[in-house]
Amino acid sequence: MSRNEMSVPHSVQEAVRACAVQAAQSSAALARASDVEIDTALRAMADRLHTARDVLTAANQDDLRSATSSGMSAALQDRLRLTGPRLEDMAAALRTLADVPHEPRDTVLEERPDGLVLLERRRPVGVIGANFEARPNVTLDVASQFLKSRNGGVLRTGSAALRSSQALITHVITPALTDAGLNPDAIQLVPSEDRAAAYALVSLPETVPLVILRGSGDSTRELGREAARHGVRTLAHADGGGVLYVARDADEELVHELVTSSLDRLGP
C-alpha cells in the first residue's frame, strides 16, 4: 500500500474531524466580525508574545530536548528554536498585518447603461486547513492570516514543534481572540503527533474544502493527490528555490555576502 493510500487510524480521523467541526461552527460569526475586532485580536496576539514569553520558551525547550534526543540535525533544530529576537519579529509581523487595510467586501466593477450593476463580492472560504513543517513561527503566521481573511482554521504541524505550537494556541491565540470578542474555537490545532493526521486533514471536503500544504516536495505532492481524491482543493508549496542575477561588473564581495546570507538557515 502506498503512503497516499495509507489507512488513517480511527482515533486520528476523529480528532481531526472534531477540530474541523469546532472551527466550522465558529466560522459564520468570524465572517461577520468587524475590522476593528479582527485587528484588535492580531495586536493582542503580538502583546501576548511578550507577556507569555517564559511559558513559550519553556515549551520550546521541551521540543528542542526531544529533537536533540531523536538525533535531529542542528540546522533543523535551529529552525525549531524560539528565541527572544524571533518572538519580537513574530510580534512585529502581527502588528504589520493588523495595520494592513481590509479589502472591501463588495466592489463595483461596472455600472451598465441599463441600470445593471456588476459587483465583485469577497467572501471567506469558511474553514481552511494547513499542514506545515515543524516551525513554531508558522503556527502564528498561518493563524493570523486566517484571522485577517475571516476564515476558521485547522492547523496540523510536525510532531517536533507540537508543544511549542500548543503553547502558542493556549497562551497567545486563544486569549487574544477571546479578549477581542471573537470565538477562540475559530483556530484549531490538531493535537495528534501521528503523521496520518495530515491525510485526515485533506479528506474532509464538507468542512475543510481548502488546505494549504507546506513541506518537503514528495510528502506535499502525495498529500495533494490524496486531497484531489477526496475533492479537497489545495494550495501547495513543495520545492522552494531562489534566483540571483549577477551583472558582469558586480562587486564580488557583495555577491558572496548575498549568497551566503541566504543560506545560513533553513527558514526564518
Rg (CA), the chain: 20
Position 23 scores a pLDDT of: 98
Q: What is the pLDDT of residues 141-192, one digit of tens each?
A: 999 999 999 999 999 998 999 999 999 999 999 999 999 999 999 999 999 9
Instruction: Give every CB contact of residue 195 below 8 A, 6+ residues apart in sequence.
Output: 159
Portion of the chain with pLDDT greater than 70, in percent: 94
Q: Which residue has the cell 528542542?
A: 64
The confidence band for 264, taking pLDDT boundaries of 50, 70 and 90, is: low
- Look up residue 173 and give its DSSP letter: I
Cell (9 digits) for 237: 508549496
Q: pTM of the entire structure?
A: 0.85
Residue whose C-alpha is closest to residue 102's, from 31, 179, 188, 175: 31
Q: How does the average pLDDT of the chain come out, rounded?
A: 92
Residue 199 has pLDDT above 90, yes or no: yes
- Single-letter code of the amino acid located at 158: G
Q: Give the mean model confidence (pLDDT) for residues 101-129.
A: 93
Position 258 scores a pLDDT of: 86
Q: What is the pLDDT of residues 69-104, one digit of tens each?
A: 999 999 899 999 999 999 999 999 999 999 999 999
